[in-house]
Amino acid sequence: MPFGRAGRGRVLAALALLVAGLLMFPAAVPNRVGRLGSLLEIFLPWLGLAVPVLAGLALLRRATVVLPVLLLPAAAWLGLFGTLLVPPSGPGHGLTAVQHNVSDENPDPAGTARKLLEAGADLIALEELTPSSLPDYTAVLAPRYPHHAVRGTVGLWSTYPLSDVERVDIKPEGIPEGWDRGIRATAATPKGDIAVYAVHLPSVRLSPSEGFRSEWRDESAALLGRALAAERLDRVILLGDLNSTVDDRGLAPVLSHLDPPRTGFAFSWPAALPLARIDQILTRGATATDIRSLPETGSDHLPVAARIGL
């Protein structure tokens, strides 16, 4: 093999090993500088695209020795995300839940509510409600969802009776008073009481000068984790815009108490070109057997729905 071709092969092989390393050990990328670790973890599934790209380059440059090395990142990706491609199975279907950040700039709240009705859900959580849009959502949803509760900009609609409704304090220090983005209620289902949380964690920011900024989001996640740790009911469903994916270490305080769905990617943001699922349906004492994106509404997020076995 000519030296140039061998050199190209070594570069491609090194890139393949790097991709495999990032997939298997994303925590090795530190968060101290620009929270690069969390940024990587948000888009971790997309690292799998490196495998066909590197394979194509290897074939183009006739560096076929690289192809066996590419089995490492391919295996790492399948180990992490392969189960999400498997058709759902598990406990019987108990209920359906929908989570949607409806956007405070949504031009058609009533139309959005009508689209959500098509999912036939038992529980619906909405974020970024405004005083002007709330009556539209309530009017459309009320006939099917006679039980609902709203705190601040977050609301929960249910076909089941709701009780013990209370605000969940997830406000980080530095955010002005009046910022209410968490609610908890007990839903009386035919299979027993379930604690249902609807939450909206603070937004993150990405800038060339400061990198990935998620301090408020991380602080809010820690507060939510404490609330979940104190939850008295065994069965919990959390619906919310967590402004990150379940792979992001910043959500560890939440995911230490709850489990993500077993199947489905359900990318939800941005609606025009979904790249990540930052809208989550998480459970404890119940099993979300799959999660899926719903058709676009007037929001910059897609709704997500999950079947939950009790």
Tens-place pLDDT, residues 197-211: 999 999 998 877 667
pLDDT per residue as tens digits for the range 227-242: 999 999 999 999 999 9
pLDDT given at position 5: 55
**Beta strand spans in 53-178 (E):** 93-101, 123-127, 147-151, 154-158, 162-167
Q: Are 93 and 307 in contact (CB under 8 A)?
A: yes
pTM of this structure: 0.92
On the question of a cis peptide bond just before residue 303, with omega within 30 degrees of 0, the verdict is no
pLDDT category at 4 given cuts 50, 70, 90 is low
pLDDT (average), residues 67-84: 95
Q: Which residue has the tokens 């007037």?
A: 298
Q: Under CATH, which architecture does the 93-309 domain have?
A: 4-Layer Sandwich (3.60)
Is the pLDDT confidence value at 1 over 60?
A: no
Which pLDDT score, from 0 to 100, does residue 2 have?
46
Report pLDDT for 37: 94
Question: How distant is the alpha carbon of residue 206 from its chain centre?
Answer: 18
Q: What is the spatial distance between Cα 165 and Cα 150, in angstroms, rounded to a whole number?
A: 9
Calculate mean pLDDT across residues 142-163: 98
Residue 212 tokens, joined: 């990935």
Of the given ranges (77-81, 83-87, 248-252), which has the lowest mean pLDDT?
83-87
Question: What band does 52 get if pLDDT is binned at 50, 70 and 90?
Answer: very high
pLDDT of residue 92: 58
Asked if the model's pLDDT at residue 275 lies above 90, the reply is: yes
Alpha-carbon span 240 to 282, nearest angstrom: 9
Domain residue limits, the chain: 3-85, 93-309
pLDDT at 91: 54
Nearest by Cα to 123 from 172, 80, 186: 186
Mean pLDDT within 178-182: 95
pLDDT in tens, 92-145: 568 999 999 999 999 999 999 999 999 999 999 999 999 999 999 999 999 999
The lowest-confidence range among 56-60, 109-113, 141-145, 185-189 is 56-60
